[in-house]
Chains A and B, each alone.
Chain A
Amino acid sequence: MGFTSPIGLFALLAIPAVIFLHLFRQRFRERRVAGLFLFAPDALPARAGNKRTRLLKTPSFWLEIAAALLLALWLGGFTVGAGHRVPHLVVIWDDSASMGADGVPERARAALEEALDELPGHARGTLIVSGTRPEVRIGPRAPAAFLRDAFDALAPRQPQHDLRPSLLLGRELAGDEGRLLLLTDRPFEDAPPRATVRAVGAAQGNAAVLSARRDGTKVYFDLMAFADGSMRTRFTIHARDRELRNEEITLPPGRLVRLSFGDPGPQVPVRFALGDDALAIDNAVTLLPSPTRVVPVATAMPDETRTLLALDEVLDVLPAVRVVGDRAQAALVIADAPLETAPGQSRVVIRPSADETDAWVGPFLLEHRHPLLRGVTLEGIVWTAGNTSPPGAPLALAGELALICEQAAPGGALRLAVNLDAKRSNVAASPDWPILWSNVVEHVRRRLPGPAATNVRLGELMSYRGRLPDASLVGPDGATRPARGTAVYTWVARKPGVHRLIDADGRERARWSAHFVDAAESDLREAATATRAPIEEPTGGTEQEGDFERTLLALLLLAVLTADWWVLS
């Protein structure tokens, strides 16, 4: 409900006017009667001049009050609900990180206020926050005033992304009558003709951390100054709470500068921060220790076969692999016969599928899209296999004979059947063999409990594998997000800083560090302040808003006046 012309509500003064008139001037129908004395005790007080009399709540009185009210509503441009003719402003907020640069939020706020001030009080508003998946933050068609409150909560952190999906969504929500307002920090020419583009940025120099990594011995940080000249700034490095470095540095314009330092310890988090500049979000990075994800592997085959397959050598060269004797402790079991495995335990069975074997030298057909065969070519290989295909989905074939098949297993475990007669093959001697096992081990590693990675970029997933009922993720600002799922929990990193996974008992089970890295957003040199007025106006202008209500009010007013005339006559 709203009023397009609130000043018209002054017409409500007609209501006391009607009451005043009824107090001082009443209309009486005349009737000749014989027994006047029988009515006399109920006679109204005699009037003299314009003295006020008792207010009579007659039908005429109520009708005239109603008429005055309807008139006021009509003049005030009364509208009800989110009618399709109510002015509608769809604001598309460019949520890329550069919108958080110095001065930009203030100018964006001013632009929004300017747009809202042009709208009547009952206007509707929609706020779309841009991103790879645009998000309708307010609305659709919420009261336009809600945009102000929502605007204060905006915190642009996203990497550079295409604004067109957001504009497309905005255009859909605006329909033929709504107005579009794109708030960004640099000129944008690809906006719809009906959109007003308000670029509220300003060209500024900015230094940013473009990447950070640690390899166990050293920590590396790549820096760049996005400026027309060299930028002098200060950086600090902290290992936990201990400051390791606090130095000034001069960054040449547009050139990558790599800083490397000795790793203070594999389990020590390292925080790197640049001094204040135009954009704060790209100034700091925290590197957490990478999770230890050793894959325990067990073999169940004769030594001869294991030697033929060179399994000991392969497993020895693969990183983060530990050979265990107890099969129950293994995440991966390599066997020459099908074995019972525990739920979630992966298994690779290597044996010919039949007593009769054929030797194949190619050509081999490989499912290269499958991660297990990534980098595998099988060139120059003699592959002797049983002449029947093992069950499962074939990943590698020789003619119609399946050489490697993946079988379904509960819990996401890997079940691989390798149709291979090791004695009559040279596969183990080929370069593909360790590649294949590397792929298998990494495939299993990804299914190990715990976080897959602890240092992520904003927008990436923070995932945890394992069963943690009632766990929650605590963000850098203390906000919590519940863990939803059964065995794998994932969250999109939206805020820079350290996120912690807390289980139901309050214990910390994992942590991730999210940091912003996007050179395109850190480069503020293209930012500018500009306005592009809409090229075409909405088909439904505000001039026609509330027509239905006004017509209805006019008809009601006419009906009430007619009824009043009829009552009085």
Chain B
Amino acid sequence: MRADCARACAPYRLVLPTSPLAGRAGDRLGRGTGSSLEFMDFRDYAPGDDLRHIDWRSYARTDQLKVRLFREEISPELEIVADFSPSMGSSERKERALRDLVGAAAHWAQRAAGRARCLLAGGGALDDIEGATLSESTEPLPRLPLRPRSLRVWVSDFLFPGDPTPLLRRFANGAAHVYIVQLLDPWELDPEPEGLLRLLDVEAPEEIEIDLNERAVTRYRERLGRLRDGILQATRSVGGSYACVAADDPATMFRTALLPQGIIEPD
């Protein structure tokens, strides 16, 4: 991660959900039983149980061996799905912002004593965020299965036609929480009239000619607004968090988009 991005990440931490999480042993209470100090339940003794957890008082009263169960302590596991499709490279600023956001999410996961796993949309694991190149993919979700009860971050521009709800449901299936970060170039978010344009699709050999006047810009903004509303509704339907980010320097993106949308909070 770039140094300035690391500096911009420092004042914030990821907002974790209040519901119990799943993950490896750590310092966060998990949804299962474990070895924390927080009592959770009793159950009958089974051979192999830790004898230190047998409730002897209960055995004295009931003559039955009961084992005290404690909440497990886990480390949150964050899975970051990064859309490295060519559409994220429609501008250098957008591509730069993608790497910053993915790096920041991984950084915040590590700060939370958790683990982060970066995955390429339509691909496998993403080991080197800075070194990764944009490539075409036919599938918006990673080929690798997502771990159950993990925190999941999806950074993409979500600029594809159709209803995003089924896709988001697939993404959120089994997740403890999902963070949907829609990253757009400022021009994509708020274009200005530019007159005659030949618009080339960055991912397909398609083009259209358009007179990008005030009217066309207004209509584009309306359509983009409907797309964003759809993503927001779909995110809410799965209990996730949504933020639309205009590609910019990391500090600005964090302060103006992620912080107001409750994805991060001051550390």
Residues of A within 8 A of B (CB): 26-44, 46-47, 56, 58-60, 567
Q: How many A-B residue pairs have CB under 8 A?
A: 95
Interface status of B40 (Cβ within 8 A of chain A):
no
**Are the C-beta atoms of B200 and A59 separated by less than 8 Å?**
no
Assuming A28-B209, A38-B159, A39-B208, is B202 touching A33 (CB within 8 A)? yes
Kindly list chain A residues whose C-beta atoms are within 8 Å of the C-beta of B203.
34
Kindly list chain B residues whose C-beta atoms are within 8 Å of the C-beta of A44.
208-211
Of the candidate stretches B65-73, B125-133, B143-151, B217-225, the one touching chain A is B217-225
**Are the C-beta atoms of A34 and B216 separated by less than 8 Å?**
no
State A483–B211 Cα separation when bound (angstroms): 74
Kindly list chain A residues whose C-beta atoms are within 8 Å of the C-beta of B160.
37
**A15 smallest CB distance to B (angstroms):** 20
Assuming A43-B208, A44-B209, is B197 touching A30 (CB within 8 A)? yes
Interface status of B195 (Cβ within 8 A of chain A):
yes
Kindly list chain A residues whose C-beta atoms are within 8 Å of the C-beta of B90.
32-34
Interface status of B206 (Cβ within 8 A of chain A):
yes
State A301–B244 Cα separation when bound (angstroms): 127
Assuming A44-B211, A58-B211, is B220 touching A31 (CB within 8 A)? no
**A47 smallest CB distance to B (angstroms):** 8
**Are the C-beta atoms of A34 and B198 separated by less than 8 Å?**
no
**Are the C-beta atoms of B196 and A58 separated by less than 8 Å?**
yes
**Are the C-beta atoms of A33 and B200 separated by less than 8 Å?**
yes
**A188 smallest CB distance to B (angstroms):** 69
Interface status of B136 (Cβ within 8 A of chain A):
no
Interface status of B266 (Cβ within 8 A of chain A):
no
Interface status of B199 (Cβ within 8 A of chain A):
yes
State A33–B220 Cα separation when bound (angstroms): 13
Q: Dominant SS at the B interface?
A: mixed
**Are the C-beta atoms of B216 and A42 separated by less than 8 Å?**
yes
Kindly list chain B residues whose C-beta atoms are within 8 Å of the C-beta of A32.
90, 199-202
**Are the C-beta atoms of A38 and B211 separated by less than 8 Å?**
no
**Are the C-beta atoms of B210 and A39 separated by less than 8 Å?**
yes
Interface status of B249 (Cβ within 8 A of chain A):
no
**A199 smallest CB distance to B (angstroms):** 68
Interface status of B54 (Cβ within 8 A of chain A):
no
State A43–B216 Cα separation when bound (angstroms): 9
**B212 smallest CB distance to A (angstroms):** 8
**Are the C-beta atoms of A27 and B210 separated by less than 8 Å?**
no
Kindly list chain A residues whose C-beta atoms are within 8 Å of the C-beta of B224.
35, 38
**Are the C-beta atoms of B220 and A29 separated by less than 8 Å?**
no
**Are the C-beta atoms of A33 and B201 separated by less than 8 Å?**
yes
Interface status of B79 (Cβ within 8 A of chain A):
no
**A267 smallest CB distance to B (angstroms):** 92
**Are the C-beta atoms of B216 and A39 separated by less than 8 Å?**
yes
**Are the C-beta atoms of A56 and B161 separated by less than 8 Å?**
no
**Are the C-beta atoms of B157 and A35 separated by less than 8 Å?**
yes
What are 26 of the A-B contact pairs (CB < 8 Å)? A28-B198, A29-B194, A31-B199, A31-B200, A32-B199, A34-B87, A36-B199, A36-B206, A36-B207, A38-B224, A38-B227, A39-B199, A39-B208, A39-B220, A40-B208, A42-B211, A42-B215, A42-B219, A43-B208, A43-B209, A43-B210, A44-B209, A44-B211, A47-B209, A58-B196, A58-B211
Kindly list chain A residues whose C-beta atoms are within 8 Å of the C-beta of B216.
39, 42
Kindly list chain B residues whose C-beta atoms are within 8 Å of the C-beta of A60.
195
Kindly list chain B residues whose C-beta atoms are within 8 Å of the C-beta of A56.
196, 211
Assuming A30-B200, A41-B223, A42-B216, is B195 touching A36 (CB within 8 A)? no
**B208 smallest CB distance to A (angstroms):** 4
State A38–B188 Cα separation when bound (angstroms): 10
**A323 smallest CB distance to B (angstroms):** 103
State A39–B219 Cα separation when bound (angstroms): 8
Name which residue of chain A comes closest to B217, CB basis: A42
